[in-house]
């Protein structure tokens, strides 16, 4: 995760472009005029880079969800907010390539791996009749409404479900927010924002330099933080399915 704050990246871009008379705002919340434009470009740039791939390694995470007795539903991950943000919707990306990466773990640390079953088959097998509770369900699936289900409800109250997933891109909102993009490549956010500025303000000289720097640095980030080529999301293919699970996180 980047250590440069949202405000620092806005200040860097203003320094490099001379926008807003070269004066950085004291806060994102108080930004006006050109400073507000820069804040917008930085925020959108960050989100676009994070969304270039759903499987950046810095978006990867692992969840240990406590299973509820007599329930076959696996609790959705709770994705931490940044700072003192208010309610925020988060989306978890579960790539089908990781369908063998779900385990039921008992109190002794022993792991059992149920098999993945496609929803259309699972719903016929397990969706219409109640199943007898079992701490070691045979199958699991992802429902069309993006909920992970087990074939049999959990019998005990001390079992854990562990699975891997890719987090959604997290939007920077406050002055102290930081990007999910690792610090060694957070420069990309400013450079991409400069490209957006050049397009908006018709500044071809800025576009040429920023585009060249962006292409070199982005390719470097691909080589460091992207998985192998076969992990890329493929359009019009059910081989690499993108599944989303929404969870609301409250910050008090």
The full DSSP string for 125-149 is HHSSS-----SS-SEEEE-TTS-EE
Q: Quick one: 227 and 191 in the same domain?
A: yes
Q: Quick one: 157 and 74 in the same domain?
A: yes
The answer to which of 71-80, 159-168, 187-196 has the lowest mean pLDDT is: 71-80
Sign of the alpha-carbon dihedral angle for 210, 213, 215, 218: negative
Q: Quick one: 132 and 72 in the same domain?
A: yes
Q: Look at residue 126 and tell me if it is in a domain.
A: yes
Q: Look at residue 238 and tell me if it is in a domain.
A: no
CA distance 157 to 69: 5
Q: Quick one: 152 and 184 in the same domain?
A: no
123-136: average pLDDT: 94
Contact 201, 227 (CB under 8 A): no
194-215: average pLDDT: 89
- Domains: count for the chain: 2
Q: Quick one: 147 and 199 in the same domain?
A: no
Cα angle 28-33-36, degrees, rounded to a multiple of 5: 30
Q: Is 96 exposed, middle or buried (0-12, 13-18, 19+ CB in 10 A)?
A: middle
Q: Quick one: 50 and 72 in the same domain?
A: no
Q: Quick one: 35 and 68 in the same domain?
A: no
Q: Quick one: 157 and 202 in the same domain?
A: no
Q: Quick one: 157 and 187 in the same domain?
A: no
Q: Quick one: 47 and 72 in the same domain?
A: no
Provide the token pair at 21. Answer: 């008379």
Residue 211, domain extent: 6-55+169-231
Tell me the residue ranges of DSSP E strands in the chain.
Answer: 60-66, 88-95, 102-105, 111-112, 115-116, 139-142, 148-150, 160-167, 242-249
Query: Distance from CA of residue 211 to its chain's centroid?
Result: 25
Q: Quick one: 153 and 198 in the same domain?
A: no
State yes or no: pLDDT of 60 exceeds 80: yes
State yes or no: pLDDT of 82 exceeds 80: no
Q: Which residue has the higher pLDDT, 83 or 53?
A: 53
Band of pLDDT at residue 79, cut at 50, 70 and 90: low
Strand partners, 244: 93
Phi, psi of 89, deg, nearest 5: -85, 130
Q: Look at residue 153 and tell me if it is in a domain.
A: yes
Strand partners, 149: 73, 141
């Amino acid at each position: 995760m980047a250590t440069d704050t949202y405000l620092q990246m806005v200040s860097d871009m203003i320094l490099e472009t001379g926008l807003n008379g070269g004066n950085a705002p004291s806060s994102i919340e108080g930004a006006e005029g050109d400073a507000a434009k820069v804040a917008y470009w930085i925020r959108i740039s960050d989100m676009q880079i994070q969304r270039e791939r759903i499987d950046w390694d810095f978006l990867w995470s692992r969840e240990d969800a406590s299973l509820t007795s007599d329930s076959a539903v696996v609790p959705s991950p709770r994705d931490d907010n940044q700072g003192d943000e208010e309610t925020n919707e988060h989306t978890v990306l579960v790539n089908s390539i990781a369908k063998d990466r779900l385990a039921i773990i008992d109190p002794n640390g022993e792991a059992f791996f149920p098999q993945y079953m496609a929803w259309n088959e699972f719903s016929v097998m397990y969706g219409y009749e109640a199943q007898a509770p079992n701490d070691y369900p045979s199958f699991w699936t992802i429902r069309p409404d993006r909920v992970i289900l087990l074939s049999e409800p959990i019998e005990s109250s001390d079992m854990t479900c562990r699975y891997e997933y890719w987090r959604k891109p997290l939007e920077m909102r406050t002055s102290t927010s930081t990007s999910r993009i690792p610090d060694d490549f957070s420069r990309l956010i400013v450079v991409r924002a400069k490209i957006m500025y050049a397009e908006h303000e018709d500044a071809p000289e800025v576009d040429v330099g920023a585009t060249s720097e962006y292409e070199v640095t982005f390719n470097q980030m691909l080589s460091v933080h992207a998985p192998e080529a076969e992990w890329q999301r493929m359009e019009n293919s059910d081989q690499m399915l993108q599944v989303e699970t929404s969870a609301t996180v409250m910050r008090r």
